[in-house]
Chain A
């Protein structure tokens, strides 16, 4: 059981280049999320999805797009990378329950540097 897998683990982009970060989960979770984490700071929510075919904006959505074409995959795209997008990106998922949240399962992160 792999949990949440993120690819790639590391990437260096030039300003203006585009790329897609892939998140895959094998736990049949309904909800998936993309966060970014900058040095010394907590995680900030970029976009999230409550199910296949649906996405919504989080705290810091500008400069990013997402897609959830399949339940198990959540893609984060950068159309024109900027140095301000240098960060560590984490994907997370959790299952739909009743009142309780049984906790997010996070991936190991993608370290992105934009030069």
Chain B
């Protein structure tokens, strides 16, 4: 399973755009890139997933370059409620090409603090 590297912590201010970059140099052909958000005392929450190029939903955008060795989660106009830990994961989906069982491995994540 591909290992990911992301900054331990980041600080931002309300209304700013936040970009969190994740490095995954050993990503496999079958791997998707997924981001989760975790608030204190809660389980992680799925934010966004992508395979290549750009994916956007109502919460965030995910930018993936052609070589797929990194990805960037972009949070537009953050608010205080976006203060959380953000995890970047790579892994094969269930029933994927390699028959993987999607044993996603979580790293330490990026602790984002949004200030007034």
Closest to A57 in B: B103
Report A41-91 residues with CB < 8 Å from chain B CB: 41-45, 48, 50, 56, 58-59, 90
User: What residues of chain A have their CB less than 8 Å away from a CB belonging to chain B?
Assistant: 4, 30-31, 35, 40-45, 48, 50, 56, 58-59, 90, 92, 94-109
Main SS class of interface, A = loop
Closest to A90 in B: B43
CB within 8 Å for A58 and B106 given contacts A94-B94, A109-B42: no
Complex CA distance for A41 and B105, rounded to whole angstroms: 12
CB within 8 Å for A48 and B46 given contacts A97-B94, A99-B96, A100-B93: no
Are A101 and B102 in touch, CB under 8 angstroms? yes
Q: Which residues of A contact B36 (CB under 8 A)?
A: 103-104
Distance between A35 CB and nearest chain B CB, rounded to angstroms: 7
User: What residues of chain B have their CB less than 8 Å away from a CB belonging to chain A?
Assistant: 30, 32, 34, 36, 41-46, 49, 87, 91, 93-97, 101-109
Distance between B115 CB and nearest chain A CB, rounded to angstroms: 21
Q: Which residues of A contact B101 (CB under 8 A)?
A: 31, 48, 50, 56
Are B34 and A42 in touch, CB under 8 angstroms? no
Q: Which residues of A contact B106 (CB under 8 A)?
A: 35, 42-44
Q: Which residues of B contact A92 (CB under 8 A)?
A: 43-44
Complex CA distance for A99 and B32, rounded to whole angstroms: 9
Complex CA distance for A80 and B96, rounded to whole angstroms: 37
Complex CA distance for A98 and B101, rounded to whole angstroms: 12
Distance between B48 CB and nearest chain A CB, rounded to angstroms: 9
Distance between B68 CB and nearest chain A CB, rounded to angstroms: 14
Are B43 and A45 in touch, CB under 8 angstroms? no
Are A31 and B94 in touch, CB under 8 angstroms? yes
